[in-house]
Amino acid sequence: MIILASSSQYRKELLNRLALEFNTIAAEIDEDKYKNKNLDHIKIAETLSLEKAKEVQRNNLDAIIIGSDQVLSFEGEIFDKPMSEKKALEQLSRLQGKSHQLITSFSIIRKEKVITETVIANMYMKKLENDQIINYVKKDMPLYCCGSYKLESLGIALFDKIECEDDTSIIGLPLLKLIKALESFDIKIL
């Protein structure tokens, strides 16, 4: 059995693309506990993905568990999901015209076997007028998205350039590396 340790509809949609049977169980961990440790931002994403997988593994000892996390790193700071229009406007106002990194990690665990992988996307946001930012937030309502944008919809219009080895990582789960990792757990996609 495969379990995606997430309540994210975006991660679920991505994993569905692989035509695998899986269940989802949300991992209940205190993310702030890790984000406040002054760890490297890559290490935070990797640690959170592993901790989510471990949390779900406690009650599912024989399953293959996939945990994932995404961190937006901007000028030494981590941006969380905004959760409000006001915060989304603030985040986008700071990001506009500048670059940031979107760090996406996943961990797969089964018993003692663990694989953790990370993909970093370099995101170059356009210089935007205030009314463009307001219009975008009203139209796309990216309140539950890291960085206050949805690249899978209108959020793509916010960017000049994106450098990334796997564009699915931007949405929340790097499928190219995930497929390879699943194969090492004897899960064949094709």
pLDDT tens-digit profile of 104-138? 999 999 999 999 999 999 999 999 999 999 999 99
Q: Is the pLDDT of residue 34 over 90?
A: no
Q: What is the dihedral of CA 180, 185, 187, 190, to 10 degrees?
A: 30
Per-residue pLDDT at 37:
67
Domains, in order of start, for the chain: 2-183 (3.90.950.10)
Per-residue pLDDT at 105:
97
How far is residue 153's CA from residue 37's CA, in Å, rounded to a whole number?
Answer: 33
Q: What is this structure's pTM?
A: 0.93
Q: At what angle do helices 130-140 and 85-95 cross, to 10 degrees?
A: 130
Question: Mean pLDDT over all residues of the chain?
Answer: 95
Per-residue pLDDT at 33:
82
Mean pLDDT for the stretch of residues 71-82: 93
Mean pLDDT for the stretch of residues 23-41: 86
Which of the following is catalytic: 30, 40, 62, 69? 69
- Told to judge if 62 belongs to the known catalytic residues of this protein, a careful annotator would answer no
Under DSSP, the state recorded for 93 is H
- The owner of tokens 């018993």 is 111
Per-residue pLDDT at 158:
98
